[in-house]
Amino acid sequence: MEKAKIIEVLKSLRDEEDKRKFNQTVDLIINLKDFDIKRESVNLFVDLPHKIKDKKVAAFLEKKSSIIDSIPKQEFEQYKNKKAVKGLVKEYDFFISAANLMPLVAATFGKYLGPAGKMPSPQLGILKTETDIEIKKLVEKIDKNARIKSKEPSLKFSIGKEDMKDEDIAENVLTAYNAVLNALPRKKENLKNVMIKLTMGKPKKIE
């Protein structure tokens, strides 16, 4: 896949799309073939070169933090209420946790965080130490990360925003595409086609 071709498709999408009153999301769609969703899977956290947006992150910690919204251990009991925990899960894009609290986080919040795809993970979301430096580093990494998980033989995920430069979106596309390609069991043989779309627009194939 060539960067120049991606930029060409992005420009044509912009030309064909009426200007909306909001900043549309740019989605990447990777359609698969000969891919058995019951036996095979793609589950990746991809570090993109260009941040799409600031994610709203909360942390499960031993004590309150001054630099991030946090749920300290002593407040876990409050979330045994179904309505409270559902509201918490809905409010944030991503959750991180101190490593030593993970068993308790899983027991208290896992039933709701898991299905929402927001459970802190060893791949991305676990703090070895509760220092401001470590928290900041992890949040910065999360802000530039894309979660790609196969639920059907088509992967669709955000890769940019309409107000980003075409070059930056194209670099995000290439990074995500290559990561998915490497994760597929039969590499290019599993690729049907790759498409890009704006929130309100129609998908356009990258030749």
37 vs 40: CA distance, rounded Å: 5
The pLDDT value given to residue 201? 87
76 vs 82: CA distance, rounded Å: 12
The pLDDT value given to residue 68? 95
Contacts 24+ apart (CB under 8 A), 178-182: 179/44, 179/46, 179/148, 180/30, 180/42, 180/44, 180/148, 180/155
pLDDT score of 207 more than 80? no
At 179-190, the pLDDT tens digits run: 999 999 999 999
**Other beta carbons less than 10 A from residue 99's beta carbon:** 12
Range of lowest pLDDT (61-65, 101-105, 144-148, 179-183): 144-148
pLDDT score of 30 more than 90? yes
Average pLDDT (81-103) is 93
- Residue-averaged pLDDT of the chain: 92
The pLDDT value given to residue 122? 87
The pLDDT value given to residue 151? 85
The pLDDT value given to residue 135? 95
The pLDDT value given to residue 193? 95
Average pLDDT (10-21) is 85
Which CATH topology does 57-143 take? Rossmann fold (3.40.50)
CB-CB contact of 147 with 157 (8 Å): yes
Q: What is the DSSP secondary structure assignment for residue 194, as one 8-state letter?
A: E
**Bridge-based pairing state of the strands 69-72 and 57-61:** parallel
List the beta bridge partners of residue 147.
45
At 125-175, the pLDDT tens digits run: 899 999 999 999 999 999 888 889 888 899 999 999 999 999 999 999 999
What does pTM read for this prediction? 0.78
* Portion of the chain with pLDDT greater than 90, in percent: 70
Q: Can you say how many angstroms the Cα of residue 176 is from the centroid of all Cα atoms in its chain? A: 11
**φ, ψ for residue 206, nearest 5 deg:** -90, 115
What residue ranges do the domains of the chain occupy? 3-51+146-205, 57-143
Q: What is the CATH number of domain 3-51+146-205?
A: 3.30.190.20
The pLDDT value given to residue 147? 86
Q: Can you say how many angstroms the Cα of residue 190 is from the centroid of all Cα atoms in its chain? A: 22
3-51+146-205 and 57-143 share one fold: no
Query: pLDDT band at 176, cuts 50/70/90?
Result: very high
CA distances from 154 to 127, 132, 176, 202 (A): 32, 39, 14, 16
Give the amino acid at 4.
A
108 vs 113: CA distance, rounded Å: 10
